[in-house]
A = this chain, B = another copy of it.
Amino acid sequence: MPQTKILLDESDIPSHWYNVVADMPNPPAPPLGPDGKPVAPERMLAIFPGNILEQEMSRERWIPIPEPVRDIYRLWRPSPLIRAHRLEAVLGTPAKIYFKYEGVSPAGSHKPNSAVPQAYYNQVAGIKRLTTETGAGQWGSSLALAGQMFGLAVRVYMVKVSYHQKPFRRSMMQTWGAEVFASPTDMTQAGRGILAQDPDNPGSLGIAISEAVEEAASRADTNYALGSVLNHVLLHQTVIGLEAKKQFEQVGDYPDMIFAPCGGGCNFAGVSFPFFADKAAGDKRAQKLRFVAVEPASCPTLTKGVYAYDYGDVSGYTPLMKMYTLGHDFMPPGIHAGGLRYHGDSPLVSQLYHEKLIEAVAVPQLATFEAGVTFARAEGIIPAPESCHAIRACIDEALRCKASGEPKTLLFNLSGHGHFDMASYDKYFAGELEDYDYPEEAIQAALERLPKVAA
């Protein structure tokens, strides 16, 4: 059998992150305050350090990765690019299928790629503690790991229902030394207010964000860290695509299409943007390259949402961001790809989609698990439900190639393993999962509640 894994040395860990803003045809739409005027970055200094805000606003194409961050990346990076020979054979496709495997990180997903630099920049800025929220726990565990590496205390507000339903992600965070609380707590005004009205409130990501931000804003030694959506998070994730480019060079190949799950956007941006740089630079091989963001049919932000200014959170605490949104109070059904249950999308990904530089497709839940099982039986690795979305779309394309005879080169981002999601596979095998096509009327109703801002 020909080569399966394409590996790089530690010396090939990228020295710089790639900032797509430098290559976008139009500058990013700025975040706005409730008054409709651009928000001054200084207003965010209560919860983010200056060095991160600088990255958030930067238009530099290449931003150096600090050595202490690269030293932590060394624990698992570069991640392998893997040729899925056995999946190709099972599908009988002439397409070549590659995947970048981010499940090799200690937290089991791509999330530490940004958690590590966020912890580092906060440490450099003299911060002692970080707060964050987590739902299923992928981001919370990644920040717990990163905080431990840089000697920062980490407090995670975990959505109460997940805290009790997913105890193993919580144990993982505690193993790395983080404090984990079931949100709503009685430790914040936001939490106390909600508990006063409803002592049995099961929590939500919106509430947990409010608690984490409130604590960070109220303590000088404490900052807040976010796991997706924002520009600096997408920036950090570009190590994925930068490595993949070197790996394709090594085998003399180049993708025709790239697939990634898309919730907040950092997963998709991480693998795609460095190839977008090739396209922007006029690289011949990249001119036909297509980028496909894959989202759940039950939370179809790009494919059924609108491009408008909206809040990033349910309660409307964040600045207004120009993005594809289903409405900030849109409540997606409880699908098992928790990382893709977000009403909005990264402003950068949204703008590129609006300008038709990238594509999007929505896939139903059952078909994603079917794809995940097909993949696991061919390649061994059991993928996270989020990653199954990219696999579904990639398999669909490989089957189109089978029909047409086209030997396309396909790449998807296998953003994480499914070891903490086996209960979802269990339900899939037991026939207990459903597809949800979100009704158009519900989307329309949510969109009518969008904030009124002059765009």
Residues of A within 8 A of B (CB): 1, 3-5, 7, 9-10, 67, 71, 74-76, 82, 86, 104-108, 145, 148-149, 167-168, 171-172, 174-177, 373, 376-377, 379-382, 419-420, 422-423, 425-426, 429
Contact = CB atoms under 8 A, between A and B. Distances in A.
Contacts of A175: 373, 376-377, 382, 422, 425, 429
List 4 tightest A-B contacts by C-beta distance, closest first.
A106-B380, A168-B422, A171-B422, A419-B419
B172 A5 contact: no
A86 B4 CA distance: 31
A172 B382 CA distance: 8
20 contacts: A1-B71, A3-B10, A5-B74, A7-B9, A75-B86, A75-B380, A76-B380, A106-B376, A106-B379, A106-B380, A148-B377, A149-B380, A167-B426, A171-B425, A172-B425, A174-B429, A175-B373, A175-B376, A175-B429, A176-B377
A71 B380 CA distance: 13
Contacts of A108: 419
A163 to B, nearest CB: 13
Contacts of A148: 377
Contacts of A381: 75, 106
Contact of A377 (B1, B3, B86, B177): B177
Contacts of A176: 376-377
Contacts of A373: 175
Contacts of A420: 419
A382 B380 CA distance: 21
A423 B166 CA distance: 11
A5 B177 CA distance: 24
A4 B74 contact: yes
A426 B174 CA distance: 8
Given A1-B71, A10-B4, A422 B380 contact: no
Contacts of A172: 382, 422, 425
Nearest to A417: B419
Nearest to A112: B380
B171 A429 contact: yes
Given A4-B10, A106-B381, A145-B380, 9 more contacts: A1-B67, A4-B74, A7-B9, A106-B382, A175-B373, A175-B376, A175-B425, A175-B429, A176-B376
A402 B382 CA distance: 41
A245 to B, nearest CB: 19
A315 to B, nearest CB: 32
A75 B4 contact: yes
A134 to B, nearest CB: 15
A380 B423 CA distance: 24
A240 B232 CA distance: 40
B376 A1 contact: no
A239 to B, nearest CB: 16
